[in-house]
Amino acid sequence: MSKILKKTELVPGIFEYEVQTSEIAAKARPGHFVMVMAEEQGERIPLTIADSDADAETITLVMMVVGTSTLKLSKLEQGEHFFALLGPLGTPSHIENFGSVLMVAGGVGAAPVYPIAKRLKAVGNRVITIHGARSANLFFWEEKLKSVSDEYIVTTDDGSKGTKGVVTEPLKTILERNKGIRCVFAIGPTIMMKFCSEATRPFSVKTIVSLNNIMIDGTGMCGGCRVKVGSETLFTCADGPEFDGHMVDWNTALARGKIYAEQERCSYNRYVLEAKKQ
């Protein structure tokens, strides 16, 4: 079963789905993701399990419309079903009582950060969260993140909410004043995770990032999501999605993320044009 029980547009272009799926809900852990298809001929899209309730037999997914396949998914309404919903996939987050942890959520990265922060808080960590976005109208799940944070900091690129600036600025400030931070989780746009990793490197603080590479099957067979980590070539789907941010080859990761940009743009424009004709 993959029935959409509830659909909410959190902010323009970002949707939250509460989905009925007993087996996935029973096994879901922070860091897991699912592969979702809107239709039989559609593309598989990886989405992080942003929350789960084994008793209610539901999971929560958050999706941002960025191309044709996510646009198709956004058109599914409450009461309808995804054509396919596969998971849970990936390696779950490593959770332990580090003492103090720092969570950095960039944009839609607030969704995958939440279940990790929730679990880290539950096992006794002091959780500091930096929540950043380009502008105030792109924030969502603020109350959720506040509820699992001992300290909650907001930044915006344009200064329309919280402190003006990018997330690396308070990240550096906190690390300079608080020598007890034992681990940083940074999840958001690839370029943000790269600069967060560079910001923490001088402090020698363990930094975990969650990569969302192009995926096809999501099980490690196709090799489409490969990423260079240190001297190894790993698969984001099977070996990740979380990796040591200080070991990721960010230049290669950024380049691979743009490899199909032109095809994606053409597909989106064609789909929108055809939809207008109908």
Buried b (16+ CB within 10 A) or exposed e, 48-65: bbbbbeeeebbbbbbbbb
Listed by start position, the domains of the chain span: 3-89, 94-210, 211-278
Neighbours of 10 (CB within 10 A): 18
pTM for this predicted structure: 0.94
Give how far the C-alpha of residue 31 lies from the chain's centroid of Cα atoms, to the nearest Å: 9
Question: Phi, psi at residue 265, to the nearest 5°?
Answer: -65, -45
The pLDDT profile of the chain, 278 residues, written as one tens digit per residue, is 689 999 999 999 999 999 999 999 999 999 999 999 999 988 999 999 999 999 999 999 999 999 999 999 999 999 999 999 999 999 999 999 999 999 999 999 999 999 999 999 999 999 999 999 999 999 999 999 999 999 999 999 999 999 999 999 999 999 999 888 999 999 999 999 999 999 999 999 999 999 988 888 888 888 888 999 999 999 999 999 999 999 999 999 999 888 888 999 999 899 888 888 87
CATH superfamily of 3-89: Translation factors (2.40.30.10)
Find the helix or strand (DSSP H, E) in which 89 lies: strand 84-89
Mean pLDDT of the chain: 94
Among all chains, which residue has been given the structure tokens 């240190």? 230
For domain 94-210, the question of CATH label 3.40.50.80 is answered with: yes
* Residue-wise pLDDT tens digits, 137-180: 999 999 999 999 999 999 999 999 999 999 999 999 999 998 88
Give how far the C-alpha of residue 107 lies from the chain's centroid of Cα atoms, to the nearest Å: 9
